[in-house]
């Protein structure tokens, strides 16, 4: 009964988000965006949705530092981002007057001055579950948190302890993961005596603990990104042999997101922090159902290769569609820069309003 109640509450929450989305589509997004401090620092954790190239420095196959990735990035440069251009965190950073890109913390060319405006600790193919990261030989969340500690040390050396505490206190901690965990678990169920609801609860407890550590290290503003409608991913449609989205997998995503929202409410009360849920599910599902609202055309396949299976290495040196700006997906898993722009605009009138409003 409790599970059913949680789902009902979440569906009501999604309805409110859809109303906000409808309003945003009818009015200028700029008018609805709350004022945010110029130069807002972003500290980013998670998977390939927010990894700008940390995996370039790791002995893993989960990389995207080759063509055609980066086709629409500055100077058409592949950076390690699983996208044709910039990620949502890059776009948001520019919108609040910080930097045009959020650099990877492991980037050997990272300049000390950039630390003040934010970095990403994220690692493609990672997840909340350490086993997910271990299987892919990438940075686990505990390792990303250790890099946060290293960042804090470097920032203190750069600006002093007082200013360092101030920057971290005012920074927005963006956390975006979960898809790799849930998909791998669903497809393989290699967890003994495990069910999806139990595994979701396990992930939620891990996420809660990670946020608590970030808070202990000085963080006071958090945006937790929900998982997308991964039942609609082109690679999922191909593997499951379905023409439309897999409702079963989308139900898993919805269930996890509902628990994320509940957990976030508890953390806000206990830690007395500013925290918001970023509902990427609603915006991407709406773009999939009604692409014309966003100026999009193709929702069932990616721009790279056939668009049905290619991701990472299998996308390497493949031909691409003529105009990625008309596509929801760049490869068979990851959104295009255009879709990330849509997500960012939506985030700035929903999740970030709670942080700065």
* HEC sequence for 280-299: HHHHHHHHHHCHHHHCCCEE
Q: Is the pTM of this model over 0.85?
A: yes
- Does position 351 have pLDDT exceeding 80, yes or no? no
Concerning whether 27 is annotated as a catalytic residue, the answer is: no
Catalytic hit among 133, 176, 334, 345:
334
Q: How far is Cα 111 from Cα 62, in angstroms, rounded to an integer?
A: 25
Q: CA–CA distance from 137 to each of 15, 45, 59, 62 (Å)?
A: 39, 17, 7, 9
Q: How far is Cα 322 from Cα 313, in angstroms, rounded to an integer?
A: 21
pLDDT in tens, 243-294: 999 999 999 999 999 999 999 999 999 999 999 999 999 999 999 999 999 9
Concerning whether 170 is annotated as a catalytic residue, the answer is: no
Catalytic hit among 72, 90, 181, 331:
331
How many Å is the Cα radius of gyration of the chain?
19
Contact 226/179 with Cβ under 8 angstroms? no
Span 92-105, average pLDDT:
92
Average pLDDT of the residues of the chain:
90
Beta strands per DSSP E along the chain: 42-46, 118-120, 172-176, 221-225, 274-278, 298-302, 327-329
pLDDT in tens, 48-61: 999 999 999 999 99
Contact 175/211 with Cβ under 8 angstroms? yes
Q: How far is Cα 74 from Cα 254, in angstroms, rounded to an integer?
A: 35
Catalytic hit among 48, 140, 255, 258:
48
pLDDT in tens, 195-224: 899 999 999 999 999 999 999 999 999 999
What contacts 49, CB < 8 A, 6 or more positions away?
A: 82, 87, 88, 122, 176, 177, 179, 225, 334, 335
Homologous superfamily of 2-19+37-356: SGNH hydrolase (3.40.50.1110)
Concerning whether 76 is annotated as a catalytic residue, the answer is: no
């Amino acid at each position: 009964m409790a599970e059913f109640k949680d789902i009902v509450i979440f569906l009501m929450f999604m309805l409110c988000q859809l109303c906000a989305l409808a309003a945003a589509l009818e009015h200028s997004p700029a008018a609805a965006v709350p004022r945010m401090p110029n130069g807002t620092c972003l500290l980013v954790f998670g998977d390939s949705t927010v990894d700008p190239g940390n995996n370039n420095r790791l002995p893993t196959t989960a990389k995207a530092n080759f063509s055609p990735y980066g086709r629409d990035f500055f100077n058409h440069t592949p950076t390690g981002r699983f996208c044709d251009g910039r990620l949502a965190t890059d776009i948001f950073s520019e919108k609040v007057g910080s930097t045009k890109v959020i650099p990877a913390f492991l980037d050997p060319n990272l300049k000390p001055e950039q630390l003040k405006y934010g970095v990403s600790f994220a690692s493609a193919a990672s997840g909340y579950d350490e086993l997910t990261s271990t299987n892919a030989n990438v940075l686990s969340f505990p390792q990303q948190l250790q890099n946060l500690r290293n960042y804090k040390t470097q920032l203190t050396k750069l600006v002093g302890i007082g200013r360092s505490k101030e920057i971290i206190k005012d920074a927005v901690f963006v956390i975006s993961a979960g898809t790799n965990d849930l998909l791998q678990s669903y497809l393989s169920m290699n967890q003994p005596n495990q069910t999806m609801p139990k595994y979701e609860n396990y992930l939620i407890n891990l996420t809660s603990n990670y946020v608590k550590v970030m808070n202990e290290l000085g963080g006071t503003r958090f945006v937790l990104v929900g998982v997308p409608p991964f039942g609609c991913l082109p690679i999922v449609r191909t593997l499951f042999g379905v023409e439309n989205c897999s409702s079963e997998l989308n139900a898993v995503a919805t269930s996890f997101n509902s628990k994320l929202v509940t957990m976030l409410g508890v953390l806000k009360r206990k830690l007395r922090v500013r925290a918001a849920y970023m509902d990427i599910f609603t915006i991407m599902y709406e773009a999939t159902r009604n692409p014309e609202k966003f100026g999009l055309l193709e929702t069932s396949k990616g721009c790279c290769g056939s668009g049905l299976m290619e991701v990472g290495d299998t996308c390497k040196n493949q031909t691409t569609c003529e105009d990625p700006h008309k596509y929801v997906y760049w490869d068979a898993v990851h959104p295009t820069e255009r879709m990330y722009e849509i997500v960012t605009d939506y985030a700035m009138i929903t999740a970030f309003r709670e942080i700065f409003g």
